[in-house]
Amino acid sequence: MDRENQSRKPYSQVRREVGLFTATSIVVANIIGAGIFTTSGIMAANLPGPGWVLLCWVFGGAIAIAGALCYAELATRMPEEGAEYFYLRTLYHPVLGFLTGWTSFFVGFSAPIAASAIGFSEYLYAGLDVDLLALDPSGLAILKKAIAIGIIALFTGLHYTGVRIGSRVQNVLTVMKVVIVLGLAASGLAMSSGGWSNITFDRDGSYEWIAIGTAMMLVMFAYSGWNASAYLAGELKRPSRTLPLSLLTGTSIVIVLYIAVNLFIFTALPYSELRGVIPVMERASVSIFGTWMGNGLSIMISVALLSSLSAFILIGPRVYYAMARDRLFFPFAARVHPRFGVPGRSILIQGAIAVVMVLIGSFEQLLVYLGFALGIFPWLAVAGLFVARRRGIGDESAVRVRGFPVVPFFFLAATLFLMVIAYINRPAESTAAIVTIAAGIPCYYLWVKVVHTARD
């Protein structure tokens, strides 16, 4: 075992078994989810031409790369489980660390797991074309929820049995996802004829500047997850090498795939036929390959969503584990399974909450709510990079950001702008996100009081 693997803190009980390929695949899987399959048509309804949509995807990729560069330094300065939780509690105050874990517990991971599971059941049902069951609407809804709950239970069980088995499943699903997305984009581009003339920056009708901000909200939702491997810092082999490479490589792969997919969409159909269409890849595929592609594409997307679901189940419990280890969460969440070497109780809790969300949750407004709530803590973490440098935290092991301070300033300015636009356009969902976060403040002080009382 190398020296770096032996240098973790004494209280870190989880094993360092995650290599570069798995860490990169987790980043790719965590980013690529429902966003790329649904957002371009919605963006088309708000922007004047396909060139503007592509520009938003490129700009969003630049923000994600800037964030990944900053997180590479943060994570190598503080290579412990929990990512933002550990950074914020170390750089600012424990209450901010608690709030990021609080938000992750209720919003950041359980909700995307539920959404991915629901998406899987919807696409699988459509792809298999099982209308012969002749179910009424209520029966059909129950069937789809049952499928979603079953897939959550299956993957929760897989990741409960250890990092090695979960990592192998994650790697296979991620490779399948990349092959599906890249293969579809490449095939579509090769078979499309004369479609390049569709990609223009022409204006069709009147559009306000704020529409770009709205479109960027959707883009950043689709890019969320660029910081995924930082959550596993305490379980990575050679974190000073694995962390930055996995963050940058994974994010770069996704940027290429996203641009390829959008080129496929916009060369397949006139822009006017895509406005407001949610299943844009299916519409574009039918245009090029024929109607049979509709069912096939639904099944392929359902497989792709399994990769995202698996990544969320793998990452989330590490945050709860880190919080519980610091006595800011239920104590059993910090217990590592004696045989499997994973925070098993946290994995099971997260799966249970995701199941509840499947049973009672709606989907559409949750995306905006998610994006706003989860945008706050990466912003604070990147701002904390200046604090870490000033205090010299982890200077000896840090992989320093090239282009400092321009890169973090770019990320901070761009992200803040998008959050302001989000609040202007969606005040209800944004306010709900703020209320959810703020509700954790009294809980934190109550918890601290209980812990101190117990010690006394």
Task: Give me the DSSP letters along 139-208.
Answer: HHHHHHHHHHHHHHHHHHHHHHT-HHHHHHHHHHHHHHHHHHHHHHHHHHHHH--SGGGG------S---
In a domain, 2, yes or no: no
Which residue shows structure tokens 């109780």?
Answer: 345
Q: Tokens for 305, please give them.
A: 């969503």
Residue 331 lies in a domain: yes
C-beta of residue 173 within 8 angstroms of C-beta of residue 151: no
Instruction: Centre a 10 Å sphere on the Cβ of residue 364 and count the other Cβ atoms it contains.
Output: 9
* Residue 147 domain flag: yes
Q: Which range (203-212, 244-253, 401-410, 443-452) has the least confidence?
A: 203-212
Checking if the pLDDT of 7 tops 50, the result is: no
Whole domain around residue 421: which residue ranges? 13-455
CA distance 344 to 334: 9
- Strand, coil or helix: 57: helix
Per-residue pLDDT, 414: 93
CA 257 to CA 272: how far, in whole Å? 23
pLDDT of residue 335: 75
Of 398 and 403, the one with more pLDDT: 403
Name 320's Cβ contacts closer than 8 Å, sequence gap at least 6.
101, 104, 105, 329, 333, 343, 346, 349, 350
Count: domains in the chain? 1
pLDDT at 273 (0 to 100): 82
> Could you report the per-residue pLDDT of 199-250, keeping only the tens digit for each?
777 665 556 667 777 788 778 878 888 887 777 766 777 777 787 888 889 8
3-state secondary structure of 236: strand
pLDDT (0 to 100) of residue 212: 77
Residues 6+ apart with CB under 8 A from 235: 14, 15, 16, 17, 18, 81, 163, 318
**If you write DSSP's letter for every residue of 378-425 in order, what string do you get?**
HHHHHHHHHHHHHHTTTTTT--PPTTTTHHHHHHHHHHHHHHHHHHHH
* CATH number for position 219: 1.20.1740.10
pLDDT exceeds 70 at position 8: no
In a domain, 6, yes or no: no
Buried b (16+ CB within 10 A) or exposed e, 108-142: bbbbbbbbbbbbbbbbbbbbeeeeeeeeeeeeeee
CB 152 within 8 A of CB 115: no
CA distances from 415 to 381, 419, 420, 447 (A): 12, 6, 9, 31
Q: How far apart are CA 37 and CA 46, in angstroms?
A: 17
Contacts 24+ apart (CB under 8 A), 395-400: 395/77, 397/76, 397/77, 397/79, 397/240, 398/73, 398/76, 398/77, 399/72, 399/73, 399/76, 399/240, 399/243, 399/244, 400/73
- Is residue 7, in this structure, part of any structural domain at all? no
pLDDT of residue 306: 83
- Per-residue pLDDT for 448 more than 70? yes
Averaged confidence pLDDT in the chain: 78
- Average pLDDT on 377-395 reads 91
Cα–Cα distance measured from residue 23 to residue 452, given in angstroms and rounded to the nearest whole number: 37
Domain contains 3 = no
Q: What pLDDT, in 10s, does the model give residues 323-374?
A: 777 777 767 777 776 666 777 788 888 888 889 888 876 666 666 777 788 7
Given pLDDT bands bounded at 50, 70 and 90, which one contains residue 151?
very high
Alpha-carbon Rg of the chain, whole angstroms?
22
Residue 110 pLDDT class (50, 70, 90 cuts): confident
pTM for the model:
0.76
pLDDT for position 113: 86
- The answer to whether 434 touches 103, Cβ cutoff 8 Å, is no
Lowest mean pLDDT among 10-19, 172-181, 405-414: 10-19
Portion of the chain with pLDDT greater than 70, in percent: 82
Domain-located, residue 396: yes
pLDDT at 63: 94
β-bridge mates for residue 236, sequence order = 18
Handedness of CA 430, 225, 312, 359 (dihedral sign): positive
The rounded Cα 368 to chain-centroid distance in angstroms is 13
pLDDT in tens, 50-98: 888 889 999 999 999 999 889 888 888 887 766 787 889 889 988 898 8
Q: Counting Cβ atoms within 10 Å, is residue 226 exposed (0-12), middle (13-18) or buried (19+)?
A: buried
Q: Is residue 99 over pLDDT 60?
A: yes
- Kindly tell me the sign of the dihedral angle through the C-alpha atoms of 126, 128, 134, 135: negative
Q: Which residue has the higher pLDDT, 456 or 21?
A: 21
- What pLDDT, on a 0 to 100 scale, did the predictor assign at position 1? 38
Answer yes or no: is 5 within a domain: no
Looking at residue 183, what is its pLDDT?
79
